[in-house]
A and B are shown apart, each in its own frame.
Chain A
Amino acid sequence: MSIERLFVANRGEIAVRIIRTCRELGVATVVGVSEVDRDSLAAELADRAVVLGPAHASASYLSVPTVVQAAIGTGCDAIHPGYGFLAENPLLAQAAADNDLRFVGPPAAVIGRAGDKLAAREVAVAAGLPVVPGRDVQSLADAQDFAGGAGYPVLVKAAAGGGGRGIKLARDADELSAVFGVAQAEAGAAFGDDRLYVERFIRAARHVEVQVAADDHGAVVHLGERDCSTQRRYQKVIEEAPAPALAPGVRDALCDAGVAFARAIDYRNVGTVEFVVDVESGSFFFLEMNCRIQVEHPVTEAVCGLDLVALQLAIANGQPLGFAQHDVAIDGHAVECRLVAEDPARGFAPSPGRIERFHVPELPGLRVDTHCRPGTVISPYYDSLVAKLIAHAPDRDAALATMSRALEQLEATGVQTNQSLLAELVGHERFLAADLTTKWLEETLA
């Protein structure tokens, strides 16, 4: 039986996005909202909205038992987790399965494996994917031995750590011996475990990711790749598809690697395999897999002519993909800008508040995904995404021209946004020339 009533366990634009597709498909929706999101657009568009709890996500959007209970209590037969919050928490996928609810995403075991960095890396190596050279080291001599083989510069980090804490850069053997002891002491102090991990540092990198889709019947395809190199503090700002300026052969190799990884980890539903591309050598390395719909999925939808949320629901229903790899054609170029309520003039401080005027231009090839309208309050409790602008055109230049016009004509007042920064970036000579690395935005802002 296919999904009849879907519980949307998310908020903001992605909740609206999911509900819109459900309306087209005739699937009823229930959205779980926090106390502050009672009057949100998602709550209004869904067939029903239930309050999960207080504003703090830990007591509402992040509470697995609450979400599952709300889904059962409102007679839903499936849960869509969107992105962020519980999307990649295997406990939700498992709790859904335990309660006979379909989970619109991969099974808990796959999420668990993909989320364990070391396990995912092992899967990648076994599947023949290149990974950034690196390993646990026992001593300084061991680290120098590794760096001698893999080449400098190297990053030294806590083996038990995460989130970028205490990562140190060593450009040569002298620097490595200088930072090693400090890194060891810091790792011990921060994580109670002084084991270190050393990996090759890629000076100029691009973030390129492959969209994959896999059904329950063994079919795995890719839907092309996206470049998400324009980032600030690991937050993506602009994304595009296809990735510009990739060396010949790299695109196909990347996409094949994405499919190979998805197959190796027994992936189901739509997902994204992330890679880092070394600009200097052109070689690429597996980074991680995201077991969810991505924020930037619309650029892929634009160039592939697919509705990825509809595809997610079909896969969750147990239907076959219904198309093969050779049916996937990439049409033109798409670029997405994330409009956020942050004030670039004040160090990108969040600028929550009530949106006064909000007008998105109507331009051919422009799509705007948003949960905002005049009077919407950008809440201080969650991310500050106001809208995603997606421009699609026959080629990159035309797509960027549409985006420039859109950013010029867009009106969003009442909160500070990064609108003018986006306009500046889209017209920046480095961006126009596709001379991108994951550091280019921060270098430009500095």
Chain B
Amino acid sequence: VNEVIQLPRAARAFVSFVALLRVNGFAIAPEQTTAFLEAIALLGPRDPEDIRQAGLATLAPPPERRATYDLLFRIHFLGGEEIPSAEGDDEEIIRLQEEGRGDEEPLLADEINESGEMAVRAEALAERRLIPGGPSEPLRRLAREARARLPRRRGHRRMRARRGPWADLRRTLRELTRNDGEVMRLGRLKRRARPRKMLLLIDVSGSMKARSEDNLDLAHTLVQATPNIEVFTFGTRLTRLTRALRLKRREQALAAASHLVSDWDGGTRIGDALQAFLAVPRFGSYARGAAVVILSDGLERGDLSALRDAVAKLSRRAWRLSWLTPLATGASFVPQTEALTAIHRFVDDMADGGSNAAVVAHVLSLRQRRAA
């Protein structure tokens, strides 16, 4: 770009802004930097607003991270005089980089931590590291068998087949040209099966403490194994983990994910958490036609009717709703707690979620189970 050669000094500030964004977790390709410089040249630039707009258009920060982008822009180009320092909240935005931290995150009405001490503990735990070591045998089994045994649905893409509802005209014509214009055999097409959407909701409250880390590990294996999956954790907050868990390396992904979750081992209001989940249209649509799996003990401290409404709503949207609780042992499990009894009739499967092996076995059996 000419501008770089003619105005090395001026251009340097823009290029270093891109570097600053990258350091803060924005994924920006070199071609975007080029487009950014061209855009600035095109716009004049007459004022800083032109530069900000050019960056928004060409560097494409995701909408939920707009606030961070604007803040970094002010720091870099305007000397950061306007930064409100009192709350310390903004610094938080910079340090925490993933989704679920922006304005999109639905905060539950009021934190239910009974004491301040609890909050401090939760904060400390946010930094916790997950146990190193390779994946356990059930998880290896999940990775191995996922492709063959996770639920599927009929897709809308067609593939050639021996038998099927449509004629494959393209193939038929090709064969016809080889046979002097005679149709010997009509090729057929059928609908190709695709992996069904999955939605995994993981309870990370105090009562699920023993399972939290294993569940996260399992979520990572599942995210790696199937393309259409969304993972959220809930406790006092709702956190989307899908993107963090897309990282291939297990340790890296788990570290990123555990850093995102800030409400480890806190309290729960499952009903409110699920309501909050359903209230974001984008999230709510993840449940539509999906195999929804909730890993929670159902120990509800909040309002039972909120829980019942949310689960009923989820159940109507889902293809099949599974509630896996560590309390359920054996096939003859009958829910005892008030919350589980209340939601029992909306849930398609209420099964054992007490160990990786049990959860994996259930998830892999989903394809055999019919849509409810």
The answer to whether A and B come from one shared complex is: no
